[in-house]
Amino acid sequence: MTDLALHIDAHWISPYAASAFVALEELGVPYDLVEVSMADGAHRDASYAALTGRVPALVHRGAGRDGADLWLAESSAIDEYLAELFSPPTHARLYPEDRAERAIARQIQAWIRSDLMPIREERSTHTIWYGTERAPLTTAGVAARDKLVRAAKAWLEGRTQLFATWSIADADLAIMLRRVIHDGIPSELNSYVQRQLARPALAKWHTHARPPYRPY
């Protein structure tokens, strides 16, 4: 048993669990992985001590108040905690070194989690990893896709990644773009998505063998 344990959804489809998973893999630190069966309501069980009842959740054993275990939910909070806990030069960098770029990375993560609701509703991530048949995007879905494309093109500005060095925001942005990759996005963004999915940490998530899908 290691000091860290990451709780993820048992179907391996949560983009937020993917973000925390990729962060840990990029850092190369030892951790335990716990699959939570949300279809069976395991995230509502009393033993699941994340106060928000959300997945993913990171447990850092003995790091809480008075030596208790620290339970931390919300993937962006997990990413930032890990980035502070395992900082360069001994570990990989999850966020840009430059303060302004670091703020942009956090902005991208927050925006993906709080906006673009039509994409998240019409292209939920089980459609990525389970190949579910999709109806055409609604008018609202098309508008959200176009909004995402405009922002991604502006942030990337012809680069192969968001900043001079890779950041966890690249993984989050690529997964969001992957939701609409079959709904018409520019070739340069398609290439960006494929490069990110080929990165070993994200490829490990992307190619994981998944159980039969059970709605929850």
Distance CA 38, CA 55 (A): 9
Same domain, 46 and 119: no
Q: What is the model's pLDDT at position 111? A: 97
Same domain, 114 and 72: no
Alpha helices per DSSP H over the chain: 15-27, 75-85, 99-114, 117-122, 126-129, 139-156, 168-179, 187-198, 200-206
pLDDT tens string 105-129: 999 999 999 999 999 999 988 888 8
In the predicted structure, residue 43 carries a pLDDT above the cut 80: no
Mean pLDDT of 143-156: 97
Q: What is the model's pLDDT at position 34? A: 93
Residues of the domain holding 187 = 99-203
Mean pLDDT of 181-206: 95
Same domain, 88 and 146: no
Beta bridge partners, 4, equal 60
Structure tokens at 174: 């690529």
**CB 134 within 8 Å of CB 123:** yes
Domain count along the chain = 2
- Residue 199 maps to a domain: yes
Same domain, 180 and 103: yes
- Residues listed for the chain: 216
How large is the C-alpha radius of gyration of the chain?
17
Pair type for strands 4-9 and 57-60:
antiparallel
Residue whose structure tokens are 């925006």: 111
Same domain, 108 and 185: yes
Same domain, 88 and 114: no
Same domain, 144 and 198: yes
Q: What is the model's pLDDT at position 50? A: 66
Looking up residue 12, the CATH number of its domain turns out to be 3.40.30.10
Mean pLDDT of the chain, nearest integer = 91
Same domain, 197 and 108: yes
